[in-house]
Structure 1
Protein backbone atom coordinates (compact mmCIF):
# COMPACT_ATOMS: atom_id res chain seq x y z
CA UNK A 1 0.00 0.00 0.00
CA UNK A 2 2.76 2.59 0.78
CA UNK A 3 4.02 2.38 -2.81
CA UNK A 4 0.68 3.82 -4.01
CA UNK A 5 0.67 6.77 -1.61
CA UNK A 6 3.11 9.05 -3.43
CA UNK A 7 1.71 8.66 -6.99
CA UNK A 8 -1.84 8.95 -5.61
CA UNK A 9 -0.86 12.10 -3.72
CA UNK A 10 0.63 13.73 -6.81
CA UNK A 11 -2.32 12.56 -8.88
CA UNK A 12 -4.81 14.24 -6.54
CA UNK A 13 -2.64 17.35 -6.09
CA UNK A 14 -2.14 17.82 -9.84
CA UNK A 15 -5.85 17.34 -10.53
CA UNK A 16 -6.83 19.89 -7.88
CA UNK A 17 -4.36 22.45 -9.24
CA UNK A 18 -5.46 22.00 -12.85
CA UNK A 19 -9.18 22.09 -12.00
CA UNK A 20 -8.58 25.23 -9.90
CA UNK A 21 -6.85 26.93 -12.82
CA UNK A 22 -9.70 25.94 -15.14
CA UNK A 23 -12.28 27.28 -12.68
CA UNK A 24 -10.35 30.54 -12.31
CA UNK A 25 -10.27 30.98 -16.08
CA UNK A 26 -14.01 30.24 -16.20
CA UNK A 27 -14.59 33.06 -13.74
CA UNK A 28 -12.34 35.30 -15.82
CA UNK A 29 -14.38 34.36 -18.90
CA UNK A 30 -17.61 35.50 -17.25
CA UNK A 31 -15.91 38.73 -16.16
CA UNK A 32 -14.43 39.40 -19.62
CA UNK A 33 -17.75 38.78 -21.37
CA UNK A 34 -19.34 41.34 -19.07
CA UNK A 35 -16.60 43.86 -19.90
CA UNK A 36 -17.03 43.23 -23.63
CA UNK A 37 -20.79 43.73 -23.36
CA UNK A 38 -20.18 47.08 -21.64
CA UNK A 39 -17.68 48.10 -24.33
CA UNK A 40 -20.08 47.11 -27.13
CA UNK A 41 -22.88 49.14 -25.54
CA UNK A 42 -20.52 52.11 -25.17
CA UNK A 43 -19.37 51.89 -28.79
CA UNK A 44 -22.91 51.76 -30.14
CA UNK A 45 -24.44 54.37 -27.79
CA UNK A 46 -25.93 57.62 -29.07
CA UNK A 47 -23.06 60.04 -29.80
CA UNK A 48 -22.33 63.02 -27.59
CA UNK A 49 -20.10 66.07 -28.04
CA UNK A 50 -16.38 65.54 -27.62
CA UNK A 51 -15.55 66.26 -23.94
CA UNK A 52 -13.43 69.33 -23.29
CA UNK A 53 -10.77 67.28 -21.48
CA UNK A 54 -11.34 63.61 -22.30
CA UNK A 55 -9.74 61.05 -20.03
CA UNK A 56 -8.05 58.00 -21.62
CA UNK A 57 -9.60 55.68 -19.04
CA UNK A 58 -12.99 57.21 -18.38
CA UNK A 59 -13.76 58.14 -21.99
CA UNK A 60 -12.23 55.22 -23.89
CA UNK A 61 -14.68 54.03 -26.60
CA UNK A 62 -17.04 56.96 -25.90
CA UNK A 63 -19.35 57.52 -28.88
CA UNK A 64 -18.94 61.12 -30.06
CA UNK A 65 -19.94 63.41 -32.91
CA UNK A 66 -18.33 66.60 -34.20
CA UNK A 67 -18.68 69.07 -37.06
CA UNK A 68 -15.81 70.88 -38.73
CA UNK A 69 -13.35 70.29 -41.53
CA UNK A 70 -10.42 68.06 -42.41
CA UNK A 71 -7.25 70.09 -43.01
CA UNK A 72 -5.67 67.86 -45.66
CA UNK A 73 -2.67 66.82 -43.54
CA UNK A 74 -2.14 63.10 -43.02
CA UNK A 75 -0.07 60.60 -41.10
CA UNK A 76 0.01 57.02 -42.39
CA UNK A 77 0.06 54.10 -39.95
CA UNK A 78 1.11 50.77 -41.48
CA UNK A 79 -1.42 48.12 -40.47
CA UNK A 80 -3.24 45.10 -41.79
CA UNK A 81 -6.84 43.96 -42.09
CA UNK A 82 -8.24 40.45 -42.26
CA UNK A 83 -9.77 40.77 -45.73
CA UNK A 84 -7.45 43.26 -47.44
CA UNK A 85 -3.99 42.60 -46.00
CA UNK A 86 -1.46 45.42 -45.71
CA UNK A 87 -3.03 48.88 -45.53
CA UNK A 88 -2.31 52.34 -44.22
CA UNK A 89 -4.53 53.92 -41.59
CA UNK A 90 -4.99 57.62 -42.34
CA UNK A 91 -4.79 59.98 -39.34
CA UNK A 92 -5.88 63.54 -40.16
CA UNK A 93 -6.31 66.73 -38.15
CA UNK A 94 -9.90 67.88 -37.84
CA UNK A 95 -10.73 71.49 -36.98
CA UNK A 96 -14.09 71.65 -35.23
CA UNK A 97 -16.59 74.47 -35.60
CA UNK A 98 -15.88 75.53 -32.01
CA UNK A 99 -12.18 76.05 -32.74
CA UNK A 100 -10.64 72.81 -31.51
CA UNK A 101 -8.03 70.85 -33.45
CA UNK A 102 -8.24 67.11 -32.86
CA UNK A 103 -7.29 63.94 -34.77
CA UNK A 104 -9.47 61.53 -36.71
CA UNK A 105 -8.56 58.02 -37.76
CA UNK A 106 -10.41 58.16 -41.08
CA UNK A 107 -9.89 54.48 -41.93
CA UNK A 108 -7.69 52.63 -44.41
CA UNK A 109 -6.22 52.98 -47.87
CA UNK A 110 -4.25 50.47 -49.91
CA UNK A 111 -0.48 51.07 -50.19
CA UNK A 112 -0.66 52.26 -53.85
CA UNK A 113 -2.99 55.05 -52.70
CA UNK A 114 -0.53 56.37 -50.13
CA UNK A 115 0.62 59.37 -52.15
CA UNK A 116 -2.71 60.10 -53.83
CA UNK A 117 -4.31 63.47 -53.14
CA UNK A 118 -7.36 63.35 -50.91
CA UNK A 119 -9.61 66.41 -50.77
CA UNK A 120 -10.00 68.23 -47.47
CA UNK A 121 -13.17 69.98 -46.50
CA UNK A 122 -16.14 70.20 -44.18
CA UNK A 123 -17.78 67.16 -42.62
CA UNK A 124 -19.84 65.99 -39.71
CA UNK A 125 -18.31 62.88 -38.23
CA UNK A 126 -19.35 60.22 -35.76
CA UNK A 127 -16.98 57.79 -34.11
CA UNK A 128 -15.41 56.65 -30.87
CA UNK A 129 -12.66 58.11 -28.74
CA UNK A 130 -9.70 55.79 -28.40
CA UNK A 131 -6.14 55.71 -27.08
CA UNK A 132 -4.71 52.58 -28.73
CA UNK A 133 -1.94 50.71 -26.92
CA UNK A 134 0.09 49.47 -29.88
CA UNK A 135 3.71 49.93 -28.81
CA UNK A 136 5.81 47.08 -27.47
CA UNK A 137 9.41 45.93 -27.66
CA UNK A 138 8.97 44.76 -31.25
CA UNK A 139 7.49 47.97 -32.67
CA UNK A 140 9.84 49.39 -35.35
CA UNK A 141 10.97 52.99 -35.35
CA UNK A 142 8.71 55.22 -37.40
CA UNK A 143 10.05 56.91 -40.54
CA UNK A 144 8.71 60.46 -40.31
CA UNK A 145 10.50 61.46 -43.52
CA UNK A 146 8.59 58.84 -45.54
CA UNK A 147 5.47 59.33 -43.41
CA UNK A 148 5.36 55.69 -42.32
CA UNK A 149 4.33 55.05 -38.73
CA UNK A 150 3.81 51.76 -36.94
CA UNK A 151 1.59 52.65 -33.99
CA UNK A 152 -1.21 55.05 -33.17
CA UNK A 153 0.51 56.60 -30.17
CA UNK A 154 -1.86 59.50 -29.52
CA UNK A 155 0.52 61.91 -27.70
CA UNK A 156 3.25 61.45 -30.32
CA UNK A 157 0.93 61.88 -33.29
CA UNK A 158 -0.67 64.91 -31.65
CA UNK A 159 2.76 66.54 -31.26
CA UNK A 160 3.55 65.94 -34.92
CA UNK A 161 0.21 67.27 -36.18
CA UNK A 162 -0.14 70.07 -33.63
CA UNK A 163 -3.47 68.87 -32.23
CA UNK A 164 -5.00 68.01 -28.91
CA UNK A 165 -4.15 64.46 -27.79
CA UNK A 166 -7.64 63.35 -28.84
CA UNK A 167 -8.29 60.66 -31.46
CA UNK A 168 -11.69 59.77 -32.93
CA UNK A 169 -11.94 56.46 -34.76
CA UNK A 170 -14.33 57.31 -37.59
CA UNK A 171 -17.56 55.34 -37.89
CA UNK A 172 -19.69 57.59 -40.10
CA UNK A 173 -19.08 60.75 -42.10
CA UNK A 174 -21.27 63.18 -43.98
CA UNK A 175 -18.81 63.26 -46.90
CA UNK A 176 -20.63 62.24 -50.08
CA UNK A 177 -17.69 60.32 -51.50
CA UNK A 178 -15.26 59.48 -48.65
CA UNK A 179 -11.71 59.09 -50.00
CA UNK A 180 -10.84 56.72 -47.14
CA UNK A 181 -12.68 53.54 -46.09
CA UNK A 182 -13.67 53.80 -42.42
CA UNK A 183 -12.39 51.11 -40.09
CA UNK A 184 -14.51 51.59 -36.96
CA UNK A 185 -13.86 50.08 -33.57
CA UNK A 186 -15.36 46.62 -33.30
CA UNK A 187 -15.74 44.99 -29.90
CA UNK A 188 -15.32 41.59 -31.57
CA UNK A 189 -11.68 42.48 -32.26
CA UNK A 190 -10.89 42.76 -28.55
CA UNK A 191 -9.19 39.48 -27.58
CA UNK A 192 -10.97 37.05 -25.27
CA UNK A 193 -8.94 33.85 -24.95
CA UNK A 194 -10.32 32.68 -21.61
CA UNK A 195 -12.54 29.97 -23.12
CA UNK A 196 -9.46 28.39 -24.73
CA UNK A 197 -7.70 28.45 -21.35
CA UNK A 198 -10.74 26.85 -19.67
CA UNK A 199 -10.71 24.00 -22.18
CA UNK A 200 -6.93 23.65 -21.88
CA UNK A 201 -6.81 23.43 -18.05
CA UNK A 202 -9.82 21.14 -17.73
CA UNK A 203 -8.47 18.99 -20.55
CA UNK A 204 -5.12 18.69 -18.79
CA UNK A 205 -6.94 17.76 -15.58
CA UNK A 206 -8.68 14.88 -17.37
CA UNK A 207 -5.39 13.72 -18.87
CA UNK A 208 -3.73 13.94 -15.44
CA UNK A 209 -6.44 11.74 -13.90
CA UNK A 210 -6.15 9.19 -16.68
CA UNK A 211 -2.36 9.09 -16.40
CA UNK A 212 -2.61 8.64 -12.62
CA UNK A 213 -5.09 5.78 -12.97
CA UNK A 214 -2.94 4.18 -15.66
CA UNK A 215 0.19 4.45 -13.51
CA UNK A 216 -1.53 2.99 -10.44
CA UNK A 217 -2.82 0.07 -12.50
CA UNK A 218 0.70 -0.56 -13.82
CA UNK A 219 2.00 -0.57 -10.26
CA UNK A 220 -0.66 -3.08 -9.26
CA UNK A 221 0.15 -5.38 -12.20
CA UNK A 222 3.86 -5.14 -11.42
CA UNK A 223 3.22 -6.06 -7.80
CA UNK A 224 1.12 -9.11 -8.79
CA UNK A 225 3.80 -10.22 -11.23
Structure 2
Protein backbone atom coordinates (compact mmCIF):
# COMPACT_ATOMS: atom_id res chain seq x y z
CA UNK A 1 0.00 0.00 0.00
CA UNK A 2 2.85 2.36 0.86
CA UNK A 3 4.43 1.79 -2.56
CA UNK A 4 1.14 2.53 -4.31
CA UNK A 5 0.68 5.76 -2.36
CA UNK A 6 4.25 6.82 -3.19
CA UNK A 7 3.78 6.19 -6.91
CA UNK A 8 0.40 7.91 -6.86
CA UNK A 9 1.87 10.97 -5.13
CA UNK A 10 4.75 11.21 -7.64
CA UNK A 11 2.33 10.78 -10.53
CA UNK A 12 -0.20 13.38 -9.35
CA UNK A 13 2.46 15.95 -8.40
CA UNK A 14 4.41 15.51 -11.62
CA UNK A 15 1.28 15.72 -13.76
CA UNK A 16 0.10 18.81 -11.89
CA UNK A 17 3.43 20.58 -12.38
CA UNK A 18 3.52 19.80 -16.09
CA UNK A 19 -0.09 20.93 -16.52
CA UNK A 20 0.71 24.17 -14.71
CA UNK A 21 3.54 24.87 -17.14
CA UNK A 22 1.13 24.22 -20.01
CA UNK A 23 -1.51 26.63 -18.67
CA UNK A 24 1.22 29.21 -17.99
CA UNK A 25 2.22 29.04 -21.65
CA UNK A 26 -1.43 29.59 -22.63
CA UNK A 27 -1.43 32.69 -20.41
CA UNK A 28 1.74 33.86 -22.15
CA UNK A 29 0.04 33.19 -25.50
CA UNK A 30 -2.84 35.51 -24.58
CA UNK A 31 -0.34 38.15 -23.43
CA UNK A 32 1.70 37.92 -26.65
CA UNK A 33 -1.40 38.06 -28.86
CA UNK A 34 -2.41 41.20 -26.98
CA UNK A 35 0.99 42.76 -27.72
CA UNK A 36 0.65 41.89 -31.40
CA UNK A 37 -2.83 43.40 -31.59
CA UNK A 38 -1.69 46.59 -29.85
CA UNK A 39 1.31 46.91 -32.16
CA UNK A 40 -0.81 46.36 -35.27
CA UNK A 41 -3.25 49.02 -34.09
CA UNK A 42 -0.44 51.49 -33.35
CA UNK A 43 1.17 50.96 -36.76
CA UNK A 44 -2.05 51.97 -38.52
CA UNK A 45 -2.46 55.30 -36.71
CA UNK A 46 -1.98 58.57 -38.60
CA UNK A 47 1.64 59.83 -38.58
CA UNK A 48 2.49 62.58 -36.10
CA UNK A 49 5.53 64.85 -35.68
CA UNK A 50 8.48 63.25 -33.93
CA UNK A 51 7.92 63.46 -30.14
CA UNK A 52 10.42 65.54 -28.20
CA UNK A 53 11.38 62.57 -26.01
CA UNK A 54 10.11 59.29 -27.53
CA UNK A 55 9.39 56.60 -24.95
CA UNK A 56 10.43 53.02 -25.84
CA UNK A 57 7.24 51.66 -24.29
CA UNK A 58 4.55 54.24 -25.05
CA UNK A 59 5.86 55.16 -28.51
CA UNK A 60 6.96 51.80 -29.87
CA UNK A 61 5.61 51.47 -33.46
CA UNK A 62 4.17 55.01 -33.37
CA UNK A 63 3.90 56.42 -36.92
CA UNK A 64 5.86 59.64 -37.34
CA UNK A 65 6.90 61.98 -40.12
CA UNK A 66 10.29 63.72 -40.07
CA UNK A 67 11.66 66.31 -42.46
CA UNK A 68 15.34 67.09 -42.86
CA UNK A 69 18.27 65.46 -44.62
CA UNK A 70 20.12 62.16 -44.69
CA UNK A 71 23.77 62.33 -43.71
CA UNK A 72 26.47 60.04 -45.04
CA UNK A 73 27.11 58.28 -41.71
CA UNK A 74 25.50 54.81 -41.63
CA UNK A 75 25.77 51.37 -40.10
CA UNK A 76 25.15 48.10 -41.91
CA UNK A 77 23.10 45.41 -40.15
CA UNK A 78 23.30 41.88 -41.54
CA UNK A 79 19.89 40.59 -42.64
CA UNK A 80 18.20 38.61 -45.40
CA UNK A 81 14.95 38.55 -47.34
CA UNK A 82 13.08 35.60 -48.78
CA UNK A 83 13.09 37.20 -52.22
CA UNK A 84 16.66 38.54 -52.51
CA UNK A 85 18.64 36.53 -49.97
CA UNK A 86 21.43 37.84 -47.70
CA UNK A 87 22.03 41.57 -47.51
CA UNK A 88 22.18 44.49 -45.13
CA UNK A 89 19.84 46.95 -43.48
CA UNK A 90 21.08 50.50 -43.98
CA UNK A 91 20.72 52.58 -40.81
CA UNK A 92 21.55 56.20 -41.63
CA UNK A 93 22.05 59.29 -39.51
CA UNK A 94 19.37 61.90 -40.25
CA UNK A 95 19.30 65.54 -39.21
CA UNK A 96 15.84 67.03 -38.82
CA UNK A 97 14.87 70.56 -39.82
CA UNK A 98 15.05 71.57 -36.16
CA UNK A 99 18.57 70.19 -35.75
CA UNK A 100 17.95 66.83 -34.08
CA UNK A 101 20.20 63.93 -35.10
CA UNK A 102 18.27 60.66 -35.22
CA UNK A 103 18.53 57.39 -37.14
CA UNK A 104 16.46 56.14 -40.05
CA UNK A 105 16.26 52.46 -40.98
CA UNK A 106 16.11 52.96 -44.75
CA UNK A 107 15.73 49.25 -45.54
CA UNK A 108 17.52 46.55 -47.48
CA UNK A 109 20.39 46.38 -49.97
CA UNK A 110 22.11 43.33 -51.40
CA UNK A 111 25.60 42.38 -50.34
CA UNK A 112 26.94 43.73 -53.63
CA UNK A 113 25.34 47.12 -53.01
CA UNK A 114 26.43 47.41 -49.40
CA UNK A 115 29.34 49.77 -50.05
CA UNK A 116 27.72 51.74 -52.87
CA UNK A 117 28.13 55.44 -51.98
CA UNK A 118 24.89 56.98 -50.72
CA UNK A 119 25.16 60.76 -50.67
CA UNK A 120 23.29 62.84 -48.14
CA UNK A 121 20.18 64.56 -49.45
CA UNK A 122 17.07 66.33 -48.18
CA UNK A 123 14.15 64.03 -47.44
CA UNK A 124 10.78 63.77 -45.79
CA UNK A 125 10.41 60.36 -44.20
CA UNK A 126 7.26 58.69 -42.95
CA UNK A 127 7.87 55.67 -40.78
CA UNK A 128 7.46 54.05 -37.40
CA UNK A 129 9.45 54.50 -34.23
CA UNK A 130 10.88 51.26 -32.94
CA UNK A 131 13.39 49.82 -30.49
CA UNK A 132 13.92 46.37 -32.05
CA UNK A 133 14.83 43.40 -29.87
CA UNK A 134 17.17 41.92 -32.48
CA UNK A 135 20.04 41.54 -30.02
CA UNK A 136 20.12 38.62 -27.59
CA UNK A 137 22.80 37.12 -25.37
CA UNK A 138 23.93 34.97 -28.31
CA UNK A 139 24.24 37.84 -30.80
CA UNK A 140 27.88 38.55 -31.74
CA UNK A 141 29.25 41.97 -30.95
CA UNK A 142 29.39 44.30 -33.95
CA UNK A 143 32.58 44.49 -35.98
CA UNK A 144 32.99 48.26 -35.81
CA UNK A 145 36.06 48.32 -38.07
CA UNK A 146 34.22 46.46 -40.82
CA UNK A 147 30.94 48.27 -40.08
CA UNK A 148 29.13 44.94 -39.78
CA UNK A 149 26.38 44.64 -37.18
CA UNK A 150 24.40 41.52 -36.33
CA UNK A 151 21.34 43.16 -34.81
CA UNK A 152 19.76 46.57 -34.38
CA UNK A 153 20.95 47.74 -30.97
CA UNK A 154 19.50 51.26 -30.87
CA UNK A 155 21.71 52.50 -28.04
CA UNK A 156 24.93 51.16 -29.57
CA UNK A 157 24.07 52.35 -33.07
CA UNK A 158 23.24 55.82 -31.74
CA UNK A 159 26.64 55.98 -30.05
CA UNK A 160 28.36 54.92 -33.27
CA UNK A 161 26.47 57.49 -35.36
CA UNK A 162 26.45 60.25 -32.71
CA UNK A 163 22.65 60.53 -32.70
CA UNK A 164 19.78 60.35 -30.26
CA UNK A 165 18.76 56.76 -29.44
CA UNK A 166 15.77 57.20 -31.76
CA UNK A 167 15.14 54.94 -34.77
CA UNK A 168 12.52 55.56 -37.44
CA UNK A 169 11.83 52.62 -39.77
CA UNK A 170 10.94 54.07 -43.18
CA UNK A 171 7.64 52.95 -44.71
CA UNK A 172 8.58 53.84 -48.28
CA UNK A 173 11.75 53.79 -50.36
CA UNK A 174 14.06 56.73 -49.66
CA UNK A 175 16.21 56.49 -52.79
CA UNK A 176 19.80 55.37 -53.44
CA UNK A 177 18.63 51.86 -54.35
CA UNK A 178 17.57 50.99 -50.81
CA UNK A 179 14.35 48.95 -50.53
CA UNK A 180 12.21 49.91 -47.55
CA UNK A 181 11.29 47.19 -45.06
CA UNK A 182 8.41 48.75 -43.11
CA UNK A 183 7.78 47.87 -39.48
CA UNK A 184 5.36 45.03 -38.89
CA UNK A 185 3.67 43.65 -35.79
CA UNK A 186 5.75 40.50 -36.00
CA UNK A 187 6.72 38.94 -32.68
CA UNK A 188 8.17 35.53 -32.01
CA UNK A 189 5.20 33.61 -30.66
CA UNK A 190 6.00 29.99 -29.83
CA UNK A 191 3.83 29.78 -26.72
CA UNK A 192 1.16 27.53 -28.26
CA UNK A 193 3.81 25.02 -29.30
CA UNK A 194 5.34 25.12 -25.83
CA UNK A 195 1.90 24.61 -24.26
CA UNK A 196 1.23 21.57 -26.44
CA UNK A 197 4.62 20.16 -25.45
CA UNK A 198 3.94 20.57 -21.70
CA UNK A 199 0.45 19.08 -22.01
CA UNK A 200 1.91 16.17 -23.97
CA UNK A 201 4.50 15.56 -21.27
CA UNK A 202 1.74 15.68 -18.64
CA UNK A 203 -0.20 13.03 -20.56
CA UNK A 204 2.89 10.83 -20.84
CA UNK A 205 3.65 11.27 -17.13
CA UNK A 206 0.09 10.33 -16.19
CA UNK A 207 0.24 7.31 -18.51
CA UNK A 208 3.52 6.14 -17.01
CA UNK A 209 2.06 6.52 -13.52
CA UNK A 210 -0.95 4.38 -14.42
CA UNK A 211 1.34 1.77 -15.99
CA UNK A 212 3.53 1.73 -12.88
CA UNK A 213 0.50 1.25 -10.64
CA UNK A 214 -0.74 -1.55 -12.89
CA UNK A 215 2.64 -3.31 -12.68
CA UNK A 216 2.56 -3.07 -8.86
CA UNK A 217 -0.93 -4.59 -8.74
CA UNK A 218 -0.08 -7.42 -11.14
CA UNK A 219 3.02 -8.33 -9.14
CA UNK A 220 0.93 -8.63 -5.99
CA UNK A 221 -1.82 -10.70 -7.55
Distance in 1, Cα, partners of 2:84 & 2:216: 58
Equivalent residue for 1:187, pick from 185, 188, 193: 185
| CA deviation vs aligned residue, 1:96-139 (integer Å, no higher than 9, x gap) | 22332211010111111112123432322111112223444433
Which residues of 2 match residues 34-73 of structure 1 at below 5 A? 34-73=34-73
Local SS of the residue matching 2:73:
coil
Does 2:101 align with 1:104?
no
Local SS of the residue matching 1:74:
strand
Partner of 2:121: 121
Distance in 1, Cα, partners of 2:115 & 2:176: 16
CA 1:136/1:51 → structure 2, altered by over 3 Å: closer, same or farther? Answer: same
Q: TM-score, normalised by structure 2?
A: 0.89
Q: How much does 1:80 deviate? A: 3.1
Contact in 1 for aligned 2:26/2:195 (Cα 8 Å): yes
Q: How much does 1:82 deviate? A: 4.3
Which residues of 2 match residues 5-154 of structure 1 at below 5 A? 5-154=5-154
| Greater displacement, 153-162 / 16-25 | 153-162
Q: TM-score, normalised by structure 1?
A: 0.88
RMSD of equivalent CA atoms: 2.0
Distance in 2, Cα, partners of 1:94 & 1:36: 29
Distance in 2, Cα, partners of 1:76 & 1:180: 12
Contact in 1 for aligned 2:95/2:102 (Cα 8 Å): yes
